[in-house]
């Protein structure tokens, strides 16, 4: 068995990578909303924090009633209990990656975990 996995992400509304590349410690999805669209629900999590990176476009997010504008290059971390929803701008699509991990589970940073 190989020590790595690779895939190309199709241009779909949402692609989850866990099965395709064999993730065992995180959930990663690529999300694409056309201009004027939104994630159709508000949600929170029981124990997983989410890290979002805006890949292209612009839009906004609403977390616990607080609205924040988003643009390509932005990174956002949301605590598990934060109630969140994402929106594309009226004049722009938005593409973002979401990385979901168990809050408090990081035991060491790159330097501490690396084997030289």
Domain spans of the chain, in order of start: 14-104
- pLDDT greater than 60 at residue 95: yes
pLDDT band at 1 (very low <50, low <70, confident <90, very high): low
Of the candidates 66, 29, 64, 25, which has an alpha carbon nearest to the alpha carbon of residue 44?
Answer: 64
Beta bridge partners of 61: 68, 86
SS3 19: helix
Which fold does the domain 14-104 belong to in CATH? Answer: Jelly Rolls (2.60.120)
pTM for the whole structure: 0.89
Contact by Cβ (8 Å): 69, 51: no
């Amino acid at each position: 068995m190989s020590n790595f996995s690779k895939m190309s992400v199709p241009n779909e509304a949402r692609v989850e990578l866990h099965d395709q590349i064999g993730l065992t410690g995180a959930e990663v999805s690529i999300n694409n909303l056309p201009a004027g669209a939104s994630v159709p629900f508000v949600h929170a999590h029981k124990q997983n924090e989410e890290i979002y990176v805006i890949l292209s476009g612009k839009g906004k997010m609403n977390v616990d009633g607080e609205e924040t504008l988003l643009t390509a290059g932005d990174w956002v971390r949301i605590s598990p209990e934060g109630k969140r929803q994402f929106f594309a701008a009226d004049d722009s699509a938005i593409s973002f990656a979401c990385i979901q991990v168990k809050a408090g589970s990081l035991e060491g940073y790159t330097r501490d975990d690396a084997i030289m």
